[in-house]
Amino acid sequence: MDLGLQGKRAIVTGATRGIGRAIASLLAAEGCDVAICARHKEAVDQTAAALARSGVKATGGAVDIADLAALRRWIGEAAETLGGLDIFVANVSALAQGMDEDSWRKGFEIDVMGTVFGIEAALPLLEKSSAGSIVVVGSTAMAEVYGPTRSYAAVKATLIPYVKGLARNLAAKNVRANVVSPGNVYFQGGVWNLVEQR
């Protein structure tokens, strides 16, 4: 497959497993230099090494997305290592499922604040690209209710109008912004794998 991404530079958050890793792997296979982050250094290092085997520049950082200062700093460092930035994929999620205060707070801090301020840090770099792209990984739960009411769906849904606003306001700067909402995805250690084990 040739998606015309050869030589592009991409950052993917939450990219050591599941959807995020699949995105980073596809970008690397298409010839993108890729920077990834997640919380656990060992998983980040292993994933970056696997991506580099595609013959691209791959780097990673252990970042807690809730630490916005650390996130901003890492995005700047990653883009410098890559020599610029063309694609920013906000994939990380707290996957907070409860209705308790802690679930709402975690979801808001990671899914909303991590996305918004990650994009804010990436935007000046994307505006220098000839074709900047912001991709926010959402969920079908943004539009459909599955089972009992959960904070996850409401928190994720807040990203839709935010990204629509970005798309309208950034088009003149040649930066696209989209939400992609995958359905259920099964992978080892993921939510559905855990449900299966119950």
> Where in the chain are the domains?
9-197
Across 78-82, 93-97, 123-127, 143-147, least confident range: 143-147
Residue 2 confidence class, pLDDT cut points 50, 70, 90: confident
Instruction: Give catalytic residue positions.
Output: 152
Residue 85 region by backbone torsions, left for phi larger than 0, else alpha for psi between -120 and 50, else beta: beta
CB 87 within 8 A of CB 26: no
What pLDDT digit, counting tens, does each position of 129-185 carry?
A: 999 999 999 988 878 877 777 898 999 999 999 999 999 999 999 999 999 988 776
CATH for 9-197, among 1.10.3720.10, 3.40.50.720, 3.30.450.40, 3.40.50.2000? 3.40.50.720
**Biggest CA-to-CA distance, the chain:** 50
Q: What is the pLDDT of residue 141?
A: 82
> 10 Å Cβ neighbour count for 112?
16
Q: Find tokens 């700047």 and name the residue.
A: 76
Task: Write down the pTM of the prediction.
Answer: 0.93
What pLDDT digit, counting tens, does each position of 97-126 carry?
A: 889 999 999 999 999 999 999 999 999 999
Q: Distance from CA of residue 54 to its chain's centroid? A: 20
> What is the pLDDT averaged over residues 62-81?
98
DSSP labels, 56-102: S-EEEEE--TT-HHHHHHHHHHHHHHHTS-SEEEE--------SSHH
